[in-house]
Amino acid sequence: MKFFIDTANVEDIKKAYKIGVLSGVTTNPSLVAKEGVKFEDRIEEILKLVPEVESVSAEVTPNAITAEEMIAEANELIKINGGDKNITIKVPMNIAGLETCRYLTKKGVKTNVTLVFTVNQALLAARAGATYVSPFLGRLDDISEDGVLLVAKIAELFRIHNLDAQIIAASVRHPDHVTRVAMAGAHIATVPYSVIEQLTKHPLTDQGLEKFAADWVKAPQ
Ligand code: E4P
């Protein structure tokens, strides 16, 4: 399973990129709004920052309701950074989003169908040609449903029917989510930097380091 970072914050992206674990970046309107910068400018900045990743998701804005409106926005987004091949257009899971997905797929543009909460939605997205589908497990857990089980079912479905779309486990809240979606067959987990940091931690690692440091001062220098 690969890691994408789920943020529009450049400092967090830089930190994750530096440790070599990053295969992509996902953003959404809420994450971009938090940054207080112009959407297109931030996407361009991110694309320039992480040239070696496979994908940087930029979502059509909530102003785009119809497929025509989504396609018009997508056609502007794909010009960013001189038509960067990594740009991935994120579209919502609805009829207009699927139509936009199909249009972009035919054009050879990568797509990420977002806000997926059922197996049927994932199947439709994959059939519309989505490069990535994003089930939001944390938000399902928030309403007492099983987000990891959804990821497992989608992974099984894609296996049975030889569907090429990659599953991005999204709305990941903690390290246990990461372990469980990796075991469930997600291709990618998109996580905030705080979760990447938590993944490096274990109390015995800290204790081990403290012991090495304590022993080292006793060694002849
Ligand atoms: C994924 O692409 C989304 O940006 C994200 O994972 C949403 O997570 P949230 O439920 O924490 O907002």
Angle made by CA atoms 53, 45, 40, in degrees to the nearest 5: 110
Is the pLDDT at 221 greater than 90, yes or no? Answer: no
Q: What residue owns the CA closest to ligand 1's atom 1?
A: 170
Q: Region 104-124: what's the mean pLDDT?
A: 98
Pocket test for ligand 1, best of 23, 167, 171, 174 (most atoms within 8 A of CB): 171
- CA–CA gap between residue 174 and residue 179 (Å, rounded): 9
Q: Among all chains, which residue has been given the structure tokens 């919502």?
A: 92
- CA–CA gap between residue 6 and residue 136 (Å, rounded): 12
Residue-wise pLDDT tens digits, 62-75: 999 999 999 999 99
Residue-wise pLDDT tens digits, 156-173: 999 999 999 999 999 999
Query: What CATH number is attached to the domain comprising 129?
Result: 3.20.20.70
Contact assessment for residue 103 and residue 130, using Cβ atoms and an 8 Å cutoff: no
**Mind spelling out the 3-state secondary structure of the chain?**
CEEEEECCCHHHHHHHHHCCCEEEEECCHHHHHHHCCCHHHHHHHHHHHCCCCCEEEEECCCCCCCHHHHHHHHHHHCCHHHHCCCEEEEEECCHHHHHHHHHHHHCCCEEEEEEECCHHHHHHHHHCCCCEEEEEHHHHHHCCCCHHHHHHHHHHHHHHCCCCCEEEEECCCCHHHHHHHHHHCCCEEEECHHHHHHHCCCHHHHHHHHHHHHHHCCCCC
Q: What percent of the chain lies above the pLDDT cut of 90?
A: 100
Residue 51 alpha carbon to ligand 1 centre in Å:
23
The domain containing residue 17 runs over which residues? 2-218
Q: What percent of the chain lies above the pLDDT cut of 70?
A: 100
34 is a catalytic site residue: no
Residue-wise pLDDT tens digits, 95-106: 999 999 999 999
pLDDT of residue 220: 92
Q: What residue owns the CA closest to ligand 1's atom 8?
A: 171
Residue 140 alpha carbon to ligand 1 centre in Å:
11
Number of domains in the chain: 1
Phi, psi of 209 (to 5 degrees): -65, -40
Contact assessment for residue 116 and residue 125, using Cβ atoms and an 8 Å cutoff: yes
Cα-to-chain-centroid distance, residue 153: 19
User: What's the maximum distance between 2 C-alpha atoms anywhere in the chain?
Assistant: 73
- CA–CA gap between residue 1 and residue 200 (Å, rounded): 16
Quickly state the pLDDT bin for 13 (edges 50, 70, 90). very high
Residue-wise pLDDT tens digits, 131-190: 999 999 999 999 999 999 999 999 999 999 999 999 999 999 999 999 999 999 999 999
